[in-house]
A and B are shown apart, each in its own frame.
Chain A
Amino acid sequence: GEDVEQSLFLSVREGDSSVINCTYTDSSSTYLYWYKQEPGAGLQLLTYIFSNMDMKQDQRLTVLLNKKDKHLSLRIADTQTGDSAIYFCAETTYNQGGKLIFGQGTELSVKP
């Protein structure tokens, strides 16, 4: 079945850039999302990218999509301590009937 993989932990220093990576197996994925989950909170949509795009930039966030390698990345520029959270990659396709398939989440720790 469809699978989404992420590394579990990432630690960076405040002010550095963070890059969180995600790989997926479903080549027909049409939507790819990044969600952020702060402790004790729900999932907050950060950004999304459609499969016909290679890159999307939104303020400090840059999403890169490599369809050939089925690889998605989220770059956070000038990472702040408030960015510390768990980041989930998710994908879906029309054939999945709207089901989001989530990765395990990457815990980002930002040290001052």
Chain B
Amino acid sequence: DAGVIQSPRHEVTEMGQEVTLRCKPISGHDYLFWYRQTMMRGLELLIYFNNNVPIDDSGMPEDRFSAKMPNASFSTLKIQPSEPRDSAVYFCASSLRLAGNQRATDTQYFGPGTRLTVL
């Protein structure tokens, strides 16, 4: 399998512009996670989906952020309008199951990330 695929790898945009980050999870994985990594806050979970349905979006910073998963093989994270403080690396991860049964299938696998710079 190719692993989790994210695009673009790098994005530079100006404040106020709309940004769309894309993710293709590992085929067959039922769970998809979006994380953000910054120096100040480390790795934070933004939202996760189960079978394309958002389950927990409590980590989404504000209404400027939205995420969708129209099908099992594609998800987007959108920021509109973007602000300089949104600059970070955004990771997508997927897993077959959620933690609970102490099986390796619960493990989350991460994509390479999208480095976003908002000027």
Q: Interface of A with B (CB < 8 Å)?
A: 30-31, 33, 35, 41-45, 48, 50-52, 88, 92-94, 96-100, 102-105
Contacts and interface: CB of A to CB of B under 8 A. Distances in A.
A102 B108 CA distance: 13
A102 B43 contact: yes
Interface of B: 4, 31, 33, 42-43, 45, 48, 55-56, 91, 93, 95, 98-100, 102, 104, 106-113
B55 A43 contact: no
A43 B43 CA distance: 11
Contact of A45 (B45, B102, B107): B107
A96 B93 CA distance: 17
Contact of B108 (A50, A100, A104): A100
Contacts of B95: 98
Contacts of B111: 42
A97 B112 contact: no
Contacts of A92: 99
9 contacts: A41-B112, A42-B91, A43-B91, A45-B109, A97-B55, A97-B98, A98-B99, A99-B45, A100-B45
Contact of B99 (A35, A52, A93, A103): A93
A27 B100 CA distance: 15
B102 A97 contact: no
Contact of B110 (A42, A48, A52): A42
B102 A43 contact: no
Residue from B91, B107, B108 having most chain A Cβ neighbours under 10 A: B108
